[in-house]
Amino acid sequence: MAEEYKTFLHRWFEEVWNKGREDAIDEMFAENGIANGLTDENGKTIVGPEMFKPFFRKFRQAFPDIHVTVEDTVSEGNKVTGLCRVTGTHQGQGIGVNPTNRTIDFRGIAIAKMEDGKIVEAWNQFDFMSMYQQLGALNLTLDT
């Protein structure tokens, strides 16, 4: 099963994010699946495909050319972890920042718990702070 889960994770990022197939969310994310680390606009953890889709739409609107590369995977039991690299160009609204036409390049880790061929729970830790810094929307200075 470990190899199947690794293949599944690659397929999730390819179909949903790289190809923009919203219908793949229904195919691959369980009805009560929990996406820890991702929230709706009210700060609630995303649960199920219907809550995931608005997040997906807004992110794809902001980065229509988004590309997620799964650089490495580890699978144990019914969980699979992927080290991901996210690239794209900020061309639209959707993330609270007016389009900058700047490119982004950041990494993250996703862990997916699988049951019956779908993601039932996921833990997402992506470097969104770096993304916002690259867009010029977050300026941090360190005083030394």
How many residues comprise the chain? Answer: 144
Dihedral sign (CA 138, 83, 85, 98): negative
Give the model's confidence band at 115: pLDDT under 50 very low, under 70 low, under 90 confident, else very high. very high
Residue 110: inside a domain, yes or no?
yes
Whole-model pTM: value is 0.91
Greatest CA span in the chain, whole angstroms? 53
Query: Looking at the predicted structure, is the pLDDT value of residue 140 above 80?
Result: no
pLDDT at 139: 78
On whether residue 119 sits in a domain, the answer given is: yes
Strand locations in 24-141, DSSP E?
A: 29-39, 45-47, 67-76, 79-89, 103-115, 118-126
Q: For the residues 121-139, what does the mean pLDDT come to? A: 93
- Give me the number of domains the chain comprises: 1
pLDDT at 2: 87
In a domain, 80, yes or no: yes
44 assigned to some structural domain? yes
CATH, residue 16: 3.10.450.50
Position 74 scores a pLDDT of 97
Decide if 101 is inside a domain: yes
Contact 29, 118 (CB under 8 A): yes
**141 has a pLDDT exceeding 80:** no
Question: Is residue 142 in a domain?
Answer: no
Range(s) of the domain holding residue 76: 2-134
Q: Say if 141 falls within a structural domain.
A: no
> What is the model's pLDDT at position 138?
79
Q: What is the pLDDT of residues 30-72, one digit of tens each?
A: 999 999 999 998 999 999 999 999 999 999 999 999 999 999 9
Residue range 68-83, pLDDT digits in tens: 999 999 999 999 999 9
Q: Which residues contact 139 (CB under 8 A, 6 or more apart)?
A: 133
Are 65 and 81 contacting, i.e. CB atoms less than 8 angstroms apart?
A: no
Mean pLDDT confidence for 90-118: 96
Domain contains 139: no
